[in-house]
Structure 1
Amino acid sequence: MTSTVPTAITRTAEGSALQAVLLDMDGTLVDTEGFWWDAEREAFAALGHVLDEAWRDVVVGGPMTRSAAFLIEATGADITVAELTVLLNDHFEARISRGVPLMPGAARLLAELAAHRIPTALVSASHRRIIDKIVASLGPEHFALTVAGDEVARTKPYPDPYLIAARGLGAEPSRCAVVEDTATGVAAAEAAGCRVVAVPSVAPIEAVDNRVVVGSLEEIDLAFLRTLVTRVN
């Protein structure tokens, strides 16, 4: 996936308060948060452990290394974080190879952003091998760049991925609209100074300050995303 932005795309942001749209992947564009939990359960079942459902909210939306470390400590499994990370990616990749379900409203939103030539990036804590497969299903033409969790020194909840995406699109973070589904992702986007709309997928997210919370992507369109920026600028 390209990490550079064509000049023609960048120019479309000029004259508009909204300069770019940055989108999370799992649980936001694709209905795969459950796939990750299933992958984790399968991996630990093979190691002789059963995961507690209460742990699901702990591991959702965060970097894989954090989730892996938590589950290893919680279960006492005899495996390293690096080994478990490979296993989880293998299990998850096997699941998405059978199809990637889109979240309601995702295809329409991506088509609208593309039709209006809005610079758009995919920003995910998932690894590159996973992102590239899912982007192939979503349509690589919808994204000027993608940011993978294993390609940044600090992934979500740190602001780095969103700062990198904004810079790559030639946009100011405060003029970027972000769509996220987890508290971890929201924290990262807000720390970067972006304007955030949350669409909770697994755990609830509180609507506070400049954060907007909606029930589904079907409530979000380009006009809505523009109000996120104009509301605070």
Structure 2
Amino acid sequence: MPDSPVPPGPAAVLFDMDGTLVDTEHLWWQAAAELAAELKVTLTDDDLPEVLGRPVEHTAAHLHRTSGTDRAEAELAARLNESFSSKVAAEVVPRPGALALLTELRDAAVPTALVSASPRRVVDLVLSSLGSQWFTITLAAEDTERTKPDPAPYLAAADRLGLDPAACVAVEDTPTGVASAHAAGCNVLAVPSAVPIAAAERITLLESLEQADLALLGRLAAGPAAAPAEQHPA
């Protein structure tokens, strides 16, 4: 039998940043945990969905609510941003397989977008280490009125690239990010970092970006998602 034809690459690949391309989720958790300790609160696994993959305002509101502090949410958000930024500036480590996949996409001339819920200050810190040359466009939290899990960031990325979201593949690591990309109409490649992600239509699960390549992304963009691989333990 003749070999099956290799699908063309996706129209574009839209990448989340924290926990997907760079190993910064633990830094965000550290920043939140340290501020929580100041507020006499100890974060546990039950707090993961309120911290990881969430914009700073959401996490600040969660800490404000759970601690009962009289400190303003805006003050807590500023403290979180300052702490996280300093940690990122000192330590940016690419996730396994991230640079190899970005290199393959660059060599194939596939447009890419960085779609982050982090503030522009943090995005630029990461880009100064990772390299801005990998991305056709970058979006930070300030670039849309609403951020993840709202679909606005992924809709904006596709619009800026002049593409239908359905022709793009989004790469995410949290349920919040997956919900955003899925609602925008993207096919989603999910590589869970700390919070498990449930299998669903148009969502493919991998344990690592080391398992992803241009051929897989092309298949995801071309039709229904492949059978999800078992996710690694959270």
TM-score, with normalisation over the residues of structure 1?
0.89
The CA distance in 2 between the partners of 1:56 and 1:164, in whole Å, is: 27
Structure 1 segment 31-50 matched on structure 2, within 5 A: 31-50=23-42
Partner of 2:148: 156
> Aligned pair count?
219
The CA distance in 2 between the partners of 1:139 and 1:75, in whole Å, is: 38
Once the 2 structures are TM-superposed, how far is the Cα of residue 99 of structure 1 from its aligned partner?
2.1
Once the 2 structures are TM-superposed, how far is the Cα of residue 177 of structure 1 from its aligned partner?
0.5
Aligned counterpart in structure 2 of residue 79 of structure 1, from 71, 80, 85: 71
The CA distance in 2 between the partners of 1:232 and 1:41, in whole Å, is: 39
Q: Note if contact 1:126-1:148 (Cα within 8 Å) is conserved in structure 2.
A: yes
Seen in structure 2, the aligned counterparts of structure 1 residues 169 and 88 have a Cα distance that, compared at 3 Å, is same
Matched, 1:181 2:173: yes
The CA distance in 2 between the partners of 1:208 and 1:146, in whole Å, is: 27
Computed over aligned residues only, the root mean square deviation of the Cα atoms, in angstroms, reads 1.7
Q: Note if contact 1:35-1:92 (Cα within 8 Å) is conserved in structure 2.
A: yes
Once the 2 structures are TM-superposed, how far is the Cα of residue 162 of structure 1 from its aligned partner?
0.2
Partner of 1:91: 83
The CA distance in 1 between the partners of 2:82 and 2:93, in whole Å, is: 18
Query: Structure 1 regions of 5+ residues with no counterpart?
Result: 1-14
Partner of 1:219: 211
The CA distance in 2 between the partners of 1:149 and 1:81, in whole Å, is: 17
Matched, 1:230 2:222: yes
Query: Structure 2 regions of 5+ residues with no counterpart?
Result: 1-6, 226-234
The CA distance in 2 between the partners of 1:64 and 1:95, in whole Å, is: 15
Partner of 1:26: 18
Q: Note if contact 1:17-1:175 (Cα within 8 Å) is conserved in structure 2.
A: no
Once the 2 structures are TM-superposed, how far is the Cα of residue 16 of structure 1 from its aligned partner?
5.0
Q: Which amino acid aligns with 1:39?
A: A
Once the 2 structures are TM-superposed, how far is the Cα of residue 49 of structure 1 from its aligned partner?
3.6
The CA distance in 1 between the partners of 2:220 and 2:191, in whole Å, is: 14
Matched, 1:54 2:41: no
Q: Which amino acid aligns with 2:25?
A: E
Aligned counterpart in structure 2 of residue 110 of structure 1, from 94, 102, 107: 102
1:34-72 CA-to-partner distances (Å, cap 9, x unmatched) read: 110100112233344433342123321122211210121
The CA distance in 2 between the partners of 1:232 and 1:120, in whole Å, is: 21
Q: Percent identity?
A: 47
Once the 2 structures are TM-superposed, how far is the Cα of residue 197 of structure 1 from its aligned partner?
0.8
Seen in structure 2, the aligned counterparts of structure 1 residues 100 and 166 have a Cα distance that, compared at 3 Å, is same
Seen in structure 2, the aligned counterparts of structure 1 residues 17 and 96 have a Cα distance that, compared at 3 Å, is closer
Q: Which amino acid aligns with 2:57?
A: T
Once the 2 structures are TM-superposed, how far is the Cα of residue 94 of structure 1 from its aligned partner?
1.3
Q: Note if contact 2:10-2:169 (Cα within 8 Å) is conserved in structure 1.
A: yes
